Amino acid sequence: MGTPQSTMRARGTTRCPPALEQVMTAEARVDLPTASLDEAYARVVHALGEQAVLTDSDSVREFHDPYEGASATEFQPSFVVQPAGVEEIRQTLRIAAECEVPVWTSSTGRNYGYGGSAPVVNGSIVLNLRRMNRILEIDEQGAFALVEPGVRFFDLYSELKQRGLRLWMSVPDLGWGSIVGNTLEHGYGYTVYGDHASAVCGMEVVLASGEIVRTGLGAMDDSPLWQRHPRGFGPALDGMFMQSNFGVVTKMGIWLMPEPETCTTGSVICHRDEDIADLVDALSPLVLDGTIQGHPLITSSPEPDGGRATPDQDTDGLTTQQKLSATLPPGRWDARVAFYGRENVVRAQEEALREAVAHLPEVTVDLRSYPGDVAADDVHPLDLVPAGIPNMYLLELMQKHFGDRVGHLDFSPVIPFTGEAAARHERMVQHILAEEGLVGAFGWIANPRSLVGACMVFFDIDDEHERRAAHRAVYRMCDRAAEWGWSEYRAHPALVDKVTANFSFGDHALSRVYTTLKDALDPAGVLSPGNHGIWPSSPAQHQDSRKGTA
């Protein structure tokens, strides 16, 4: 790799090495504050070695928004740094601060539907933590693990099985992502610890200054309680490092579930459009009192013209709506539920569910039971996730019926756990999708008192008109949700400032607190500026560099 040379950029005179010219098109380049991108590049290579730095377009492409399309000029990284450990993170952050070049942190970069590893500020260096992939500890008696950011759900599951440990984990719909990364984004799984952010117990964090902090009881030297008790003495800081840009999380403790004697899971299926409110209201008290365990997933599946397709069917030549139906569970409404524990207790929980939904017209309760030590090959594909088994079934279905050029932009508001709210939400989403000529997979992840909407708005990556329509649709959904006092729990970089603007109490007092914290912990403002709408007060040029229009 040659010595970086100066090149004139489309706007301004920030320099970058020739290799970076392959990565950032002229339209995408932006001025970075008093920046010397080539200096940052040269210093990082010198400090970490060429093997830790990616600059060629094919390698860097993976760290763009995977669904951005060929003409994208927004949210473009310059190059990628993959540190092998904490000291290399510290070196990278020091160089970034001295060169005034922003750094965007990602764990494995699989945040699909929410931008992947794409930075808010064009030209940011992506600090990807994939190489830091050690499982540092698993404690069977205490039911916890300590992992680095590069550990995937697949990795931890494999380790549990190889060691023969009687522990279950919580997994999201796709198992290829980082446990730490998903958790920091407030991601969800579906078992008892499916609210991943609530299952965190202790973090190690590198601040922008290079200082290393351990939260909770990890702040005591050699404490055996770091992953056993979530709070130390004084304020609990774990939550401050989630959905933020206050530090780089390098270790995270997570709680695991003791292997149950049995797991019963499956679906409550309703068939009429008007059943959604009654179904949600029937399930709500059972989730609230713990009869239904984990996090149920309620899926909407409208009947397409021409009839539904099945997952195994060849859908070539069918309509988009029919192809979508092949990827969804049966019924107009499908509520996936689960029970875990001793067999006699699970039987009683199942009976309580059947009684609670018996009044719903033509309702079907379709459940399957598995022993706690069940092998993945013996589990129905629809039951893998509630059984805590990481997989790629959903993505494989999507690619089978839509091909590998289908993308999605996600709209994920939090709404009340009531039938009225769910019905209103679904009507709004389907109306906007129809007006924009789009389709989407739509449902809710259930918490005891709230539902998290999960709407994937699909589009052809190669069709610029469809891509813009998808962004326009999600913008409209965000506006309508805000009118009802609902907010997205997670968002694409194009939406973060829009979502943040809705938190307007006290003339946006919360945003001012975030900025105060940002300025205190990252005075140079170089660590993931704009992440979740959190900006430093200085340098202001970072905000001038952001891109966020539909």
- Residue 402 pairs with which residues in a beta bridge? none
What is the spatial distance between Cα 115 and Cα 104, in angstroms, rounded to a whole number? 12
Those residues whose C-beta lies under 8 Å from the C-beta of residue 534, and which sit 6 or more positions away, are 244, 245, 500, 511, 514, 515, 518
Q: Is residue 369 part of a domain?
A: yes
Q: Is residue 493 part of a domain?
A: no
Tokens of 510: 């919360």
Tokens of 32: 């970075």
Tokens of 152: 């995937």
pLDDT at residue 3 is higher than 60: no
**pLDDT for the residue numbered 11:** 26
Mean pLDDT value across residues 474-480: 98
What is the spatial distance between Cα 26 and Cα 12, in angstroms, rounded to a whole number? 11
DSSP 3-state assignment of 374?
A: coil
Between residues 395 and 28, which one has the greater pLDDT?
A: 395
pLDDT at residue 17 is higher than 70: no
pLDDT range class, residue 546, cuts 50, 70, 90: low
pLDDT at residue 390 is higher than 50: yes
Least confident window among 1-10, 103-112, 131-140:
1-10
Q: Specify the number of domains making up the chain.
A: 3
Q: Are residues 340 and 460 in the same domain?
A: yes
Q: Are residues 243 and 270 in the same domain?
A: no
Name the helix (H) or strand (E) containing 105. strand 103-106
Q: Are residues 430 and 281 in the same domain?
A: yes
Q: Are residues 91 and 190 in the same domain?
A: no
**pLDDT for the residue numbered 71:** 85
Catalytic residue among 114, 157, 188, 514: 114
Mean pLDDT value across residues 161-175: 98
**pLDDT for the residue numbered 70:** 87
Per-residue pLDDT of 484-501, as tens digits, reads 999 999 999 999 999 999
Q: Are residues 362 and 284 in the same domain?
A: yes
Share of the chain above pLDDT 70, in %: 91
Residue 112 designated active-site: no
**pLDDT for the residue numbered 107:** 96
**pLDDT for the residue numbered 34:** 40
Query: Of 375, 223, 408, 190, whose CA–CA distance to 299 is shortest?
Result: 190
What is the spatial distance between Cα 71 and Cα 467, in angstroms, rounded to a whole number? 11
Catalytic residue among 41, 112, 190, 489: 489
Per-residue pLDDT of 323-344, as tens digits, reads 999 999 999 999 999 999 999 9
Query: Of 336, 262, 268, 258, whose CA–CA distance to 296 is shortest?
Result: 336
**pLDDT for the residue numbered 543:** 54
Q: Are residues 353 and 283 in the same domain?
A: yes
pLDDT at residue 288 is higher than 80: yes
Backbone angles phi, psi at 517, to 5 degrees: -65, -40
Q: Is residue 497 part of a domain?
A: no
pLDDT at residue 210 is higher than 70: yes
Q: Are residues 352 and 458 in the same domain?
A: yes
pLDDT range class, residue 130, cuts 50, 70, 90: very high
Which pTM was predicted? 0.92
pLDDT range class, residue 538, cuts 50, 70, 90: confident
CATH assignment at residue 467: 3.40.462.10
Residue 490 designated active-site: yes
pLDDT range class, residue 542, cuts 50, 70, 90: low
Per-residue pLDDT of 51-96, as tens digits, reads 999 999 999 999 999 999 888 889 999 999 999 999 999 999 999 9
Mean pLDDT value across residues 253-264: 99
Q: Are residues 395 and 306 in the same domain?
A: yes
Q: Is residue 494 part of a domain?
A: no
Catalytic residue among 15, 214, 490, 546: 490
What is the spatial distance between Cα 390 and Cα 406, in angstroms, rounded to a whole number? 22
Domain boundary pick from 488, 513, 542: 488
Query: Of 8, 9, 96, whose CA–CA distance to 48 is shortest?
Result: 96
| 247-257 as b/e: b if 16+ CB within 10 A | bbbbbbbbbbb
Q: Is residue 250 part of a domain?
A: yes
Torsion angle, CA of 114/120/122/128, rounded to 10 degrees? -70
Residue 340 designated active-site: no
What is the spatial distance between Cα 83 and Cα 131, in angstroms, rounded to a whole number? 7
pLDDT at residue 374 is higher than 50: yes
DSSP letter at 361 equals T
Least confident window among 69-73, 96-100, 234-238:
69-73
Q: Are residues 143 and 109 in the same domain?
A: no
**pLDDT for the residue numbered 539:** 55
Q: How many C-beta atoms surround the C-beta of residue 105 within 10 A?
A: 25
Domain boundary pick from 203, 238, 258: 258
Query: Is residue 484 a contact partner of residue 478, using CB atoms and an 8 Å limit?
Result: no
- What beta strand segments (E) does 271-363 contain? 297-300, 333-341
pLDDT range class, residue 106, cuts 50, 70, 90: very high
Domain boundary pick from 258, 274, 307: 258
Between residues 543 and 265, which one has the greater pLDDT?
A: 265
Query: Long-range contact list for 56-63, CB < 8 A, 24+ apart?
Result: 56/19, 56/22, 56/23, 57/22, 57/23, 60/23, 60/126, 62/109, 62/117, 63/106, 63/109, 63/116, 63/117, 63/118, 63/126, 63/128
Least confident window among 427-431, 448-452, 527-531, 537-541:
537-541
Q: Are residues 125 and 169 in the same domain?
A: no
**pLDDT for the residue numbered 503:** 97
CATH assignment at residue 76: 3.30.43.10
Do the strands 333-341 and 297-300 form a parallel or antiparallel pair, or are they unpaired? antiparallel
- The range of the structural domain enclosing residue 43 comes to 1-131+503-550
Q: Are residues 360 and 435 in the same domain?
A: yes
pLDDT at residue 2 is higher than 70: no
Q: Is residue 465 part of a domain?
A: yes
Amino acid at 475: Y
Q: Is residue 496 part of a domain?
A: no
Q: Are residues 312 and 423 in the same domain?
A: yes
